[in-house]
A and B are shown apart, each in its own frame.
With several copies, the nearest count.
Chain A
């Protein structure tokens, strides 16, 4: 994603427009090229924005009715918080850019810098949206929002900075220490490890620290509210994902049909594997598609399509088995399964780029298994630690969980003073 680390690490806003205008001397083509880039990135950003509606409805369908409104308000409010903190803190930290200069300065040709921010924000804002599904039905609104703000303002931008952003020289460049040690830099095209991995591994300690929902492991006690809303969320995510992956190219001329093809096949692999391993369970099938898409992000520009099919299928199976182990065996009450979905499949995606990205497996090569393994695991560890520290501190300071009575009556009524279908109440 945006492998032009030159301009990314330039850090000087004023130099941006010159960098851009230096690309090409021919004026007409240049104007069209730059506006086309802006358009291309915009569509990516809008598709990723729409994914947040997908996160919301996936959660609406997967929780009990008494927590649907909270799912909706949480996602849209956290989008707002993320926008502000990422604009003011996270983006400058990750990319060394700030957008507070005058419009004439920053805007440049077609204001492409603004479009880029919008796109990158879409990724950053996935972090709290991912966590949201794990801590659902019992987390306090405000402490959870605060955690999200810290993650989007500091934790994710640091991970982003060291892999995609201004500090990425060591890890992402062909002559950085990582490449010199293992033969190739770290490659995560659209964020399997960087975005999903971070989100999923941040969520895990949050889920453990929160503890299981009341009566979660008594028989017949907790059932999801709505498969149609769950599926709606899943479909919105699937469709938006083609923006998440394809527009990660960052410039129209770098668009790659292969990325779309690989996303498609990973989604299909994930769906079908999840269906086969779950006896056609609606919850698994619709999330299997997402598992495939999470896993394919990192190497979607490298794999042979059949490699993607395998990566996706493995992710689908991984999700099914690990969700059951996590929630049934280890009794970690991860409501939507965000750790196996984003954490594990993200980690798998990061590693998979080092396997199926190899030329011997039909990939385009230029990746190192060890680089992928080390950095993907590193991200997981850093995120898990950060999650533990932030949620641990918040728990100690304010408490992170609704009190028992609030949880019983549901977060809709206790936080938002309304039920999801108000007219149904007599």
Chain B
């Protein structure tokens, strides 16, 4: 089992979700985050006081997934989230030791879906 975390542009969320649904990946946890990267940022000013804002709105998707589906998932995310412009985001993957479905107390690969 792996944990796949993708940080994407907020406006791509719907497309990424759809791409994952298309390959039957329908479980995920999503949150609003702010990202700092090559994309730079902007200056905000209020009554003459200038603030540098270099944290931009992003969406973070967390997907626990069985090993055999990881590659498909990555492909789906990449193809749907990519616009080619700086700021498209990143995907991170790490191994998962356990996944439990609270409702049934199932553990392991079956619990993921």
Contacts and interface: CB of A to CB of B under 8 A. Distances in A.
B52 A219 contact: yes
A425 B55 contact: yes
Interface stretch (B39-47, B68-76, B96-104): B39-47
19 contacts: A215-B11, A219-B14, A221-B14, A223-B51, A278-B48, A281-B45, A281-B47, A337-B47, A413-B42, A417-B43, A417-B45, A418-B45, A422-B44, A425-B44, A425-B53, A426-B13, A426-B30, A426-B32, A426-B34
Nearest to B43: A417
Nearest to B59: A426
Contacts of B30: 426
B55 A426 contact: yes
A59 B11 CA distance: 22
Given A425-B53, A426-B13, A426-B34, A417 B44 contact: yes
A224 to B, nearest CB: 6
B49 interface: yes
A72 to B, nearest CB: 14
Interface of A: prevailing SS: loop
B83 to A, nearest CB: 11
A220 B14 contact: yes
A323 interface: yes
Contact of A283 (B11, B13, B46, B59): B46
Given A221-B11, A426-B34, A328 B48 contact: yes
Contacts of A283: 46-47
Which 8 pairs between the two chains have the least Cβ-Cβ distance?
A: A324-B48, A283-B47, A417-B45, A426-B55, A426-B34, A220-B51, A220-B14, A283-B46
Contacts of A57: none
Interface of A: 215, 218-221, 223-224, 278-279, 281-284, 320, 323-324, 327-328, 337, 408-409, 413, 417-419, 422, 425-426
Interface in B1-60: 11, 13-14, 30, 32, 34, 42-49, 51-53, 55, 59
A184 to B, nearest CB: 38
B69 to A, nearest CB: 23
Contacts of B48: 278, 281, 284, 320, 323-324, 327-328
Interface string B75-110: 000000000000000000000000000000000000
Contacts of B14: 218-221
Nearest to B53: A425
Given A223-B44, A417-B42, 9 more contacts: A218-B14, A223-B51, A324-B48, A417-B43, A417-B44, A422-B46, A425-B44, A426-B30, A426-B59
A409 B42 contact: yes
A223 B46 contact: yes
Contacts of A425: 34, 44, 53, 55
Contacts of A284: 47-48
Contacts of A281: 45-48
Contact of A323 (B43, B47, B51): B47
A212 to B, nearest CB: 13
B67 to A, nearest CB: 27
A12 B34 CA distance: 64
A278 B46 CA distance: 9
B32 A419 contact: no
B59 A219 contact: no
Contacts of B44: 223, 413, 417-419, 422, 425
Contacts of A418: 44-46
Contacts of A220: 14, 51-53
A321 to B, nearest CB: 9
A315 B42 CA distance: 31
Contacts of A324: 47-48
Contacts of A419: 44
A219 B42 contact: no
Nearest to B36: A426
A133 to B, nearest CB: 13
A282 B14 CA distance: 25
Contacts of B51: 219-220, 223, 422
